[in-house]
Structure 1
Amino acid sequence: MKYIVCIVWLLSSASYGFAQSDTCAPQAIDTLTHEKTTPFQVAAVADTTGSVTAADTTNLYCINEVYLRSIWQDLKYTVARPAHWQQKNWLQFGAVAAGAGLLIGADHSVKQFFIHNQTTAVTSITNQIEPWGNAYSPYLVGAAYMAGMILHDRKLESGSLMAAKSLLISTAIYTAIKSVVRRGRPTYFNDNLNFKPPFTRDKYHTSFPSGHSNTVITVATAIVELYGKDHPWVPWVAYSVAGLTGVTRMYQNRHWSSDVLVGMALGHFVTQSVFRHQRAKEHKLVMKKMLY
């Protein structure tokens, strides 16, 4: 898959850039936890009264052992999250499941709607939007990392690595699901409940969930997590591009509508989980520093 190649390119180019620059300082040993950290990972605690501010919990990544190890840690955290869900989380899951169930019932009608409303003008537009779920999103992450290094923008550099990590984890999860749920693509089958046994190697049964939708929403959610609070227009733009990309997959008859919804929900959940884990680690580390 093109975006997996892009992620590998990002990590390899990032490793080369790290070797050529001093944006990441040498690792130091935390005297309290005996864990390896970098000066960028723990901001100076200005307030020792017990309050923890956002400025106190700034954690900026660079390519090193800590970052690479965090990918596996975040994967385990994400997979285990449902065991720690609260009522709000289960209600959200229920809403997505109910929505997917309704769309399964409407999949065929949605397919026919798009088939009978295709025009040359709309097709030319969707052809420009569709790559956001395949090549553009991963390339955007890689470009952001390189820009962060060139401009010495540590937030952009670290944020792009967070996005790359989220993309890698979400890709691994949805690929695993595809290998188990072998659902027929609407391009080849008119029955949206056409399935083959798990792990069957068949390109015709790779519909669920939508990889394009998963990829673009993963990157969109990462952008919103990083810049959404400071710039209210960011969520509107990021999620609009992601939503339109999902629509193109239905318009092009590549996915059922329920594939798109589940792909979107999965990518959004994974990225939010990765950022949630990061904030939890930052808070825990700063609290230890304050106590020490």
Structure 2
Amino acid sequence: MRINSLYLQLLLPFVIITGVHAQQITVDSAAAPVKKDTSYLRFFRGTKKYECSIASVVVPAAMLGYGIATFEYGPLRNLDHSTKNEIVEDNQTFHTKVDDYLRYAPALSVYALNAMGIHGAHNFRDRTIILGISTLLMSGTVGGVKTLSHRQRPDGSTFNSFPSGHTATAFMGAEFMRMEYKDVSPWYGVYGYAVATATGVLRMYNNRHWLSDVVAGAGLGILSTKAAYWVFPKMESIFTKKDGKNSMHPIAMPTYSPDTKSVGVSIVFFPGS
């Protein structure tokens, strides 16, 4: 049961952040009821009801939980192997490096759209800080879980398969794009999630990840961005002067790189406005 306790320790920050967030937004939603939206685009639209819904946190958490469950529940792990066998059997010679670049497309698209004059919810400074927080949460958690899980990749190359870092990066960016443009058009979110899904699928077709690696990576990426959007205004209020002007305050955050197996510290500044 040691592996379960380690996972609980890693997930605790997300549980605390999302739990407090859910408690706060439930009060807001009770004060301002919103007409029910039955369209599938409600998951990408900026309606207050959806943002206040517990489901916005439960779904990615369940995805992450599914991946963790494959370490204890045999039938789910068997699904990993059967899915891998079907993919490899039909695509034995398939290989591409597109997923190495596609994972960054959703996040970069946010900056490209702003450069074209299609502005999102935040200015350059604020969205960059939010993306930085998301990346630190995601990369740190992915690196730690990869080390602790020690799962062999389906191609047998290394023992850092779980969860998929490429997929986590892609879905982190997809949720980042959705949050920035949800009030402009839900189709931006649809695009981001479509690209992220393609990244996860390609990781399996390249025989680099199991199905559960991809599902868990997607959930972790989404949770990282949701946590960042909740943390950012709290951090900003701490480092904002009473007169409304931001002072130049550095924030040190630990980082971990699973590729180079190195640790470091990132310094984020809140410059004057």
TM-score by length of 2: 0.57
Specify which of 83, 93, 104 is matched with residue 77 of structure 2. 104
What letter corresponds to residue 272 of structure 1 in structure 2?
A: K
**Match of residue 22 from structure 1:** none
Structure having the higher Rg: 1
What CA distance in whole angstroms lies between the structure 2 residues aligned with 1:157 and 1:282? Answer: 12
**Match of residue 15 from structure 2:** 82
- 2:88 maps to 1:155: no
Matches within 5 A, 1:193-232: 204-232=158-186
What CA distance in whole angstroms lies between the structure 2 residues aligned with 1:275 and 1:98? Answer: 24
- 2:98 maps to 1:128: yes
Q: By how many angstroms is 1:156 displaced?
A: 3.7
Query: Residue 123 of structure 2 aligns to a residue in which SS?
Result: helix
Query: Residue 253 of structure 1 aligns to a residue in which SS?
Result: coil
Specify which of 139, 145, 149 is matched with residue 171 of structure 1. 139
Change (3 A) 1:162 1:260: same
Are the counterparts in 1 of residues 62 and 219 from structure 2 also a CA contact under 8 Å?
Answer: no
CA RMSD of aligned residues (A): 3.8
**Match of residue 144 from structure 1:** 111
- 2:205 maps to 1:251: yes
Specify which of 207, 221, 225 is matched with residue 267 of structure 1. 221
What CA distance in whole angstroms lies between the structure 2 residues aligned with 1:128 and 1:266? Answer: 22
Give deviations 1:78-124, integer Å, cap 9, x for gaps.
Answer: 9534136269478543465247546423000110111022177xx47
Give deviations 1:137-157, integer Å, cap 9, x for gaps.
Answer: 67x38x939x76x98x87244
Q: By how many angstroms is 1:130 displaced?
A: 4.2
TM-score by length of 1: 0.54
What CA distance in whole angstroms lies between the structure 1 residues aligned with 2:101 and 2:239? Answer: 40
Query: Residue 183 of structure 1 aligns to a residue in which SS?
Result: coil
- The runs of 5 or more residues in structure 1 that have no matched partner are 1-77, 189-202
Identity of aligned residues (%): 26
Q: By how many angstroms is 1:219 displaced?
A: 1.4
Are the counterparts in 2 of residues 170 and 267 from structure 1 also a CA contact under 8 Å?
Answer: yes
